[in-house]
Amino acid sequence: MTSNAAPPSFVRPEFLVDSSWVYSCLQDPGVRIVDCGDANDYDRAHIPNAVPLGLHPWLKDEGSPHVINPDAFAQRMSELGVSGNTTVVAYDGNTGWLSARLWWVLRHYGHDDVRVLNGGWRGWVRAGYPVSVDMPKGELATFEVRRNNDILIRADELMKKVGQGDVQVVNLLLPAVYQGESNPFGNARTGHIPGSVNVPNETFSGEAGRFESAEAIRRAFGEVGVSPERETIVHCQAGIRSAHACLALTLAGWEHVRVYDASLAEWANREDTPLVHSS
């Protein structure tokens, strides 16, 4: 593939593309553009040749805090024409979190050739690129799952790591939720995982979740002592903000980032998991 024109400071620029790169690939049969936003918004207008994700954008098993099961995910990717040779480009029309979620789930299931459109739909429209209301003709493919658990952590393992000096746990929620003062999700308990630090997504990305530079990401996380040299575990309420943070940290050079996918939707509703409030 050609250069993706991501900002040059990123250590892993292959995971981020700009609108001009996507425009140059609109007719490339090896590129599948996936709209991760609302189905009604897709019907109103979308990037030409983009296909709708067609799943709940959180990519969870129904009624579960855990990531969508591999069979259901593989079936939908196959229906969208995604095979092991496909370059996937994900975008959405809001914060960029949903496209980052697809990026993370694809990588969890072994497909690393996936990029996120920096600035998303808003950036595409603002730059004056064409839009479409047509649904492209589908071409079936075979998506094979090769599970990568190195970027995922589950509650039982995380409980063993809490308090260890070689692990840093990052909470991506807004400060009032982190501190235990607000409970917008209706969890059984409030507060944060002991030893975790708070870095809301809004501090390291701009409008529509746009990433401006690796330096801005490193600065936001560095201010609370999060270092690229140590294992980093990110979590939020449902793993959506976390996927976005995982992408940010990967772009900026972190090599060992894991998402606690079930996040506080699980942790704050169990009785055996520790939570503390800020004083």
- Domain residue ranges in the chain: 13-147, 150-267
CATH number belonging to the domain at 13-147, selected among 3.20.20.70, 3.40.250.10, 3.50.50.60, 3.40.47.10? 3.40.250.10
Burial class (CB in 10 A: 0-12, 13-18, 19+), 189: middle
Q: Are the beta carbons of 194 and 276 closer than 8 angstroms?
A: yes
Between CA 92 and CA 246 the distance in angstroms is 17
How many angstroms separate the most distant Cα atoms in the chain?
A: 57
Helix 240-251 / helix 97-108 crossing angle, nearest 10 deg: 80
Residue-wise pLDDT for 189-203, tens only, equals 999 999 999 999 999
Backbone φ, ψ for residue 259 (5° rounding): -100, 125
Between CA 273 and CA 279 the distance in angstroms is 19
Mean pLDDT (the chain) is: 95
Between CA 19 and CA 22 the distance in angstroms is 5
pLDDT at 8 over 80: no
Residue-wise pLDDT for 173-190, tens only, equals 999 999 999 999 999 999
Per cent of the chain over pLDDT 70 is 97
pLDDT at 6 over 90: no
pLDDT of amino acid 139: 85
Would 13-147 and 150-267 be classified into the same CATH topology? yes
pLDDT of amino acid 165: 78
Cα 92 from chain centre: 11
CATH of domain 150-267: 3.40.250.10
